[in-house]
């Protein structure tokens, strides 16, 4: 398997570098090859499969090409309808848009300033909106929601810190077993990433990190 990405590390928007490197090393030990800081310029039919031409001059042969481009809220329809948008469709904690009786949730919604592209936030929004639509206006509440990285060779979990918070990562590491905590100047833990055997500490660390919305 060949992985091609324009970033200098795997999953840079989710994992801090030390945890990303651990995941990459374990995948490489299974034979995965990474081509980072480059992109595919074109794909041409070959016999069999296809040939990929990379921007760095490399050529790769492949049977199948899978493009994973990530998630981005689709806001064009809401914007065309005059509904307020930001990074997503702007809603308050009751999931109301700027248009009366129009609500939004899920990957397209920016809830009180947060765009959360995962299952747990969606479920929390669905539960709150169900109550609102049945006559009991209910604000959505989020707890601490770590994200599991589904790599059995290197179990990993991450709870990214808020993007607007100042702080630094403190790391404990044994090979590809990593525990790194994001702390502010007071020493409060505001985020974490764990890999390998440290992934077992996910639940305990989740109780330390403050919730997104309480």
Task: Dump pLDDT digits (tens) for 72-83.
Answer: 899 999 999 999
pLDDT recorded at residue 114: 84
Q: Is the pLDDT of residue 92 over 60?
A: yes
The CATH number of the structural domain formed by 147-206 is 3.30.390.120
Read off the pLDDT of each residue in 18-47 and give the average, rounded to a whole number.
Answer: 95
Q: Is the pLDDT of residue 212 over 80?
A: no
Sorted by where each begins, the domain ranges of the chain are 2-62, 76-133, 147-206
User: If pLDDT is split at 50, 70 and 90, which confidence band does 69 have?
Assistant: confident
Domains 2-62 and 147-206 share a fold: no
What does the pLDDT look like over 165-208, one tens digit per residue? Answer: 899 999 999 999 999 999 999 999 999 999 999 999 999 999 99
pLDDT recorded at residue 163: 73
What does the pLDDT look like over 100-125, one tens digit per residue? Answer: 999 999 999 999 888 888 888 899 99
CATH of 2-62, one of 3.30.870.10, 3.50.50.60, 2.30.40.10, 3.40.50.2300: 3.50.50.60
Q: Is the pLDDT of residue 134 over 80?
A: yes
> What is the rounded distance in angstroms from the CA atom of residue 11 to the CA atom of residue 20?
7
The helix, strand and coil proportions of the chain, stated in percent and rounded to the nearest 5, come to 20, 30, 50
Q: Which two tokens mark 185?
A: 């100047």
Read off the pLDDT of each residue in 87-112 and give the average, rounded to a whole number.
Answer: 94
pLDDT recorded at residue 119: 85
User: If pLDDT is split at 50, 70 and 90, which confidence band does 213 have?
Assistant: low
What's the pTM value of the predicted model, to 2 decimals? 0.79
Dihedral sign for Cα 197, 202, 205, 210, please. Answer: positive
E-strand ranges in the chain read: 2-5, 33-36, 40-45, 50-54, 59-62, 89-91, 109-111, 147-149, 156-159, 168-174, 177-183, 189-195
Distances (CA, A) of 71 to 47, 68, 74, 115, 214: 33, 9, 9, 11, 26
pLDDT over 90, % of the chain: 78
User: If pLDDT is split at 50, 70 and 90, which confidence band does 27 have?
Assistant: very high
Q: Which two tokens mark 57?
A: 């001059």
Mean pLDDT value across the chain: 92
Residues 10, 34 contacting (CB under 8 angstroms): yes
Read off the pLDDT of each residue in 48-62 and give the average, rounded to a whole number.
Answer: 95
Read off the pLDDT of each residue in 120-142 and give the average, rounded to a whole number.
Answer: 94
112 against 63, higher pLDDT: 63
- DSSP bridge partners of 96: 103
Q: Is the pLDDT of residue 214 over 70?
A: no
């Amino acid at each position: 398997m060949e992985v091609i990405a324009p970033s200098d590390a795997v999953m840079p928007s989710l994992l801090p570098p030390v945890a990303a490197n651990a995941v990459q090393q374990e995948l490489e030990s299974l034979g995965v090859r990474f081509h980072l800081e480059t992109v595919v310029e074109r794909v041409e039919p070959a016999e069999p499969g296809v040939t990929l031409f990379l921007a760095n001059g490399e050529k790769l042969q492949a049977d199948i090409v899978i493009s994973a481009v990530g998630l981005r809220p689709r806001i064009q329809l809401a914007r065309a309808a005059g509904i307020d948008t930001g990074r997503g469709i702007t809603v308050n904690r009751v999931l109301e848009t700027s248009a009366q009786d129009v609500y939004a949730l899920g990957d397209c919604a920016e809830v009180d300033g947060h765009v959360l592209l995962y299952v747990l936030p969606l479920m929390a929004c669905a539960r709150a909106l169900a109550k609102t639509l049945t006559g009991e206006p209910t604000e959505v509440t989020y707890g601490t929601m770590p994200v599991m990285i589904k790599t059995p060779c290197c179990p990993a979990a991450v709870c990214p810190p808020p993007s607007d918070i100042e702080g630094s990562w403190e790391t404990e590491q044994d090979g590809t077993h990593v525990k790194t905590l994001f702390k502010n100047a007071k020493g409060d833990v505001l985020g974490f990433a764990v890999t390998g055997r440290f992934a077992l500490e996910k639940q305990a660390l989740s109780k330390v990190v403050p919730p997104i919305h309480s």
